[in-house]
Structure 1
């Protein structure tokens, strides 16, 4: 791999990753973007071997980000390197990412991840899968509890509700009428067979690993 793009708004993170990459291979060319617009432009007009992605540069980390990027460059390898504490490893890996690593990882773990991608084309952190297996054994997740039955707009309303926004706030955020937002909320409750906001939040906390934004897991 000779050309790598880092998408992250934290300067220190970018410098640290670049330093590790140069230690692995001094000839690696590293570029950097800090927002979604710059990222999409770079991916559209340039070829990269690897994208190291902080998903928080997107306004909605639950959106089908990987699918969008893969659509622009199907051969692009993507390593999610994030500070987000959402349980998104399965949706992102199933969506096409080759690696998923939290920023709490040590320098050695990051180096191991990068070397694994360079040599094998992927990296799966053992600790994350250990946690996943324990959650599955505890009955906290089931693939059929995804949000696939909701429309794209309903999923947006869903997440804003979970974040604690009221109907007026959601209407303003989505630039729709408050009555329209209320209709979306009603449809969400009906489709998920829940009766209250408390149940909605419980649904999110229990099944969020399998939430998706399309016909496939992201």
Structure 2
């Protein structure tokens, strides 16, 4: 039985190359592709793939927000993040958000296919660093600053740090302006910041900016 895949990456050449590699494996069937987070959610709901392969940095909706929405709407989704970011903060953030695996774009095709099959089988696949500095950092448990936020607040958090106004946040998340502003106010209180600029600085220090 083949593993059905939906791929999301805003770089067309990267996406096409990935599709070509995966279609060479008889156990994998690419059933959908897209270039942004919103279309990804639409395709996953429509096609119900076994595994979702997605980048973190995507237009219209970041990967972190997309994961939150996917898990909320389809909890059984098995998500494998394929990213250029090897920082611990990104790995931890995506794992906390509900991803089943995280693979670097520099990995070999054989390793990627092995990760896809592992994730499809219900396993979790995350990188382990042998770099001395990274190992030293990882001795201290990384605390994701947005772990205190609700799922909806995390969605607002990433949209605000991406530069969206409360009006635009309300439009993108299909909520009233007042609700968006209330979420924004709660985020500020929980994270102890007083402005969007401070929120962006906090996100930057935590490695959560695109």
TM range (shorter): 0.5 to 0.7
- Three-state SS of the structure 2 residue aligned to 1:88 is helix
Q: How many angstroms apart in 1 are the aligned matches of 2:71 and 2:158? A: 26
Aligned-pair distance for 1:134? 3.2
- Cα 1:199–1:81 change in 2 (3 A) is same
The answer to whether the 8 Å contact 2:32/2:43 transfers is no
Matched, 1:170 2:169: no
Matched, 1:192 2:191: yes
Matched, 1:148 2:142: no
Q: How many angstroms apart in 2 are the aligned matches of 1:158 and 1:5? A: 23
Bigger mean CA offset, 119-128 vs 7-16: 119-128
Q: 1:117: which partner in 2?
A: 116
Aligned-pair distance for 1:159? 5.9
User: Tell me, which stretches of 5 or more residues in structure 1 are unaligned?
Assistant: 212-218
- Aligned positions, number: 198
User: Tell me, which stretches of 5 or more residues in structure 2 are unaligned?
Assistant: 172-176
The answer to whether the 8 Å contact 2:55/2:81 transfers is yes
Aligned-pair distance for 1:125? 1.7
Q: How many angstroms apart in 2 are the aligned matches of 1:158 and 1:28? A: 32
Bigger mean CA offset, 80-89 vs 93-102: 80-89
- Cα 1:115–1:199 change in 2 (3 A) is same
Q: 1:4: which partner in 2?
A: 5
Matches within 5 A, 1:37-186: 37-55=38-56, 56-63=58-65, 65-83=66-84, 87-103=89-105, 105-106=106-107, 108=108, 110-119=109-118, 121-127=123-129, 133-137=135-139, 141-143=142-144, 145-146=145-146, 148-149=148-149, 152=152, 156=156, 160=160, 162=161, 170-171=165-166, 173-174=168-169
Aligned-pair distance for 1:111? 2.6
Q: Which has the higher contact order (CA 8 A, sep 6+)?
A: 1
- Cα 1:124–1:76 change in 2 (3 A) is same
The answer to whether the 8 Å contact 1:147/1:155 transfers is no
Q: How many angstroms apart in 1 are the aligned matches of 2:71 and 2:140? A: 34
- Three-state SS of the structure 2 residue aligned to 1:4 is strand
Aligned-pair distance for 1:98? 1.9
Aligned-pair distance for 1:208? 4.6
Aligned-pair distance for 1:183? 8.3
